[in-house]
Amino acid sequence: MNSSHNNQTKINLPLSIAPMMDRTDRHYRYFLRQITRRTLLYTEMITAQAILHGDRPKLLDFSAVEKPLVLQIGGDNPTLLAECAKIGADWGYDGINLNVGCPSPRVQNGNFGACLMTQPELVATAVEAMQKAVKIPVTVKHRIGVDECDRYKDMVNFVRIVSEAGCTNFSVHARKAWLQGLSPKENRDVPPLRYQDVYRLKQDFPHLWIEINGGITTIEQTQVHLKSVDAVMIGRAAYDRPYLFATVDRDIFAEDAIAKSRAEIVEGMLPYIDYWLGKGIRLNSITRHMLQLFAEQPGTKAWKRYITEKACLSGADSLVVSAALARVKSV
């Protein structure tokens, strides 16, 4: 088995957690790894300019336990994107993903994200340049359409052109993006979901790895989608109800795995919290990602209230988290 096939296998997984700005940072990813070992994880989107000119260790460092892990990059300059892909590969990431889905205005202004769907030749050139620079997979995350360019045949044309440049993995958010008139938040809810278009894409491109994203909130829904596509990517539900992933290593990845309790997950985070506090990180930069662990459970209000009130105080340490857990257990 050649190394490129091995590398592809690392990220060709049936379930992933979407890249989410201000959410999927290294602390959230470490927290998720206490819940699921197998699910593919992504960084937040990092722009090519930030990678080239910013604080790389702060932007790119991760813990080995976070792997398999994909770096998502935003940009439109093939030369710069290739340079960033090389940096990401050298940093140890398992794959590089190009963002062709984000509808944020600040993304449009930089001519990347969802607006690139109308420029498939440019995306193809970028992907080709990135692939030449690295031995790890280069993938694309995109919408089913953008503004008036939202017919099924428009998406087919985009995928055909980009796949002919060598891209084999496409993560498809099953909504179109309105770049004018809708906020990024509205773009996650207002455009209707068109799952059948993504299913059809898999039928029309059976040789490609097609992942579906958008509005998926349960493992049962995930299992239904997996009958029609290769993989499922979950976004907001992974943040709002992280314990949703407690059984996926068993139910999706068919591992003989026993789900940890929520209390065990909290206790698994305590040494990590102490380590980072020793490095000068504030407690709430880690615990903010843990607030929803007890979502829909008795004690969730006590957990969130105690951590929210105490984690931002000067000198707050892991004892705050232990005390919050004790309050949950006493409910």
- Rounded distance between C-alpha atoms, residue 154 and residue 121, angstroms: 13
Axis-axis angle for helices 262-278, 26-33 (nearest 10): 140
Average pLDDT over residues 235-259: 96
Q: Determine the pLDDT at residue 170.
A: 98
Say if residues 97 and 19 touch (Cβ distance below 8 Å).
yes
Token representation of residue 230? 């290769």
Q: Determine the pLDDT at residue 185.
A: 67
Average of per-residue pLDDT values in the chain: 92
Q: Would you say the C-alpha torsion 165, 171, 177, 179 has a positive or negative sign?
A: negative
Pairing of the two strands 138-146 and 231-234: unpaired
Structural domains in the chain plus CATH codes: 3-251 (3.20.20.70), 262-330 (1.20.120.1460)
Torsion of CA 203, 204, 210, 214, to 10 degrees: -80
Q: Where would I find the H helices in 166-299? A: 184-187, 195-204, 219-225, 236-240, 248-251, 262-278, 284-287
- Rounded distance between C-alpha atoms, residue 273 and residue 288, angstroms: 12
pLDDT above 70: residue 258: yes
**Residues facing residue 140 across a β-bridge:** 98, 170
- Rounded distance between C-alpha atoms, residue 322 and residue 152, angstroms: 51
Axis-axis angle for helices 120-133, 78-91 (nearest 10): 40
**pTM of the full structure:** 0.94
The residue to which tokens 């907001």 are assigned: 236
- Rounded distance between C-alpha atoms, residue 271 and residue 63, angstroms: 14
DSSP letter at 184 equals H
Token representation of residue 91? 């940093």
Give the catalytic positions in this structure: 102
φ, ψ at 42 (rounded to 5°): -125, 150
- Tens of pLDDT, residues 2-27: 456 678 878 999 999 999 999 999 99
Q: Determine the pLDDT at residue 3.
A: 58
Token representation of residue 114? 């969802």
Q: Determine the pLDDT at residue 176.
A: 82
- Rounded distance between C-alpha atoms, residue 36 and residue 330, angstroms: 27
- Tens of pLDDT, residues 190-231: 678 999 999 999 999 999 999 999 999 999 999 999 999 999
